[in-house]
Amino acid sequence: MTFKIIEITPMLIPYGVNTSRRAPRPLNERQKDYVENYDYKTVFYDIFYSENNVCMVGPNLRNLESIINIGKWSINGFLRRDEPKFKSMWKVDNVSFELNYGELSGNPVNQFGVSCGWLDCDGKIQPNESAIFSGKKVLVSINKNNNLACIKDWIIFYQRTHGIDAVLLYDNDSTEYTMYELLDVIKDIEGIDVGVVVPWVCVKILPLVILFFNVLVFMLINTIYMFNYCLKTSCEKKFLNLKLKKIRA
């Protein structure tokens, strides 16, 4: 039996960098929460080893592709002289480097580095753990704050009706419970001998900027209101004093 939480290596555009993925949808076709929910800053969701390749998977790069292409990449500390290969799919881009003989015959491939101006970072190349699900009938889904009892009933239904014996859940930053609690639910179900939870979290910068902007606007409006109030009060006092002087006269 295997029950675990998978570690991922995301790559994000850093805070303070004035570069973002261009949104594909025209302004006149965007719903009210489009800007808030669109992922402007994630470059790759995960970086991992697969079939003699280092693979980087993320949302469509769009305008970021040229920047990634000219970046200086290294694997296990050695600079790559070739350019990465790009494969674009529906809402997903796969960027990869094919490993050479020296990289495959040497130390395990586990570190990458990249430098392309605004993006200068390194990190761990995650192992390919797809073998966990070899020969399994797998139930796959994305979860965010769904009731744990409902999740358990849902898995039990698929186990009894369709004979699944493995569960793969991508947890989209649930706040009602931890990933360990979610994994415990999977463990408790009879007939399930493989359960994996993947933390699928995207850090979005833009909503914070919008919030900050809204706070500034509120403060500005409040300041103008207080200024007008003070000015009005001051004028009323002057008018009252003038009126009292006339009455006394």
Using CA atoms in the order 147, 150, 151, 156, what is the torsion angle rounded to 10 degrees?
160
* CA-closest candidate to residue 8, choices 55, 51, 67, 40: 55
CA 120 to chain CA mean position, Å: 18
pLDDT in tens, 136-158: 999 999 999 999 999 999 999 99
Number of alpha carbons in the 13 Å side-chain half-sphere of residue 215: 6
pLDDT in tens, 101-123: 777 776 778 899 998 877 788 89
pLDDT at residue 227 greater than cutoff 80: no
**What pLDDT, on the 0 to 100 scale, is given for residue 202?**
55
Using a CB cutoff of 8 Å and minimum separation of 24, what contacts does 83-90 make? 84/56, 86/61, 88/60
Using CA atoms in the order 127, 132, 137, 142, what is the torsion angle rounded to 10 degrees?
-40
pLDDT at residue 42 greater than cutoff 70: yes
CA 242 to chain CA mean position, Å: 64
pLDDT in tens, 61-98: 999 998 888 889 999 888 998 989 999 998 899 999 99
- Give me the chain's average pLDDT, please: 82
Looking at the chain, list the stretches that DSSP marks H as alpha helix, in order from N- to C-terminal side: 34-37, 65-69, 101-105, 148-162, 179-187, 206-248
How far apart, in whole angstroms, are the C-alpha atoms of residue 220 and residue 213?
10
**What pLDDT, on the 0 to 100 scale, is given for residue 229?**
45
Top-confidence range, 115-124, 126-135, 148-157, 232-241: 148-157
Which residues lie across from 124 on neighbouring strands? Answer: 111
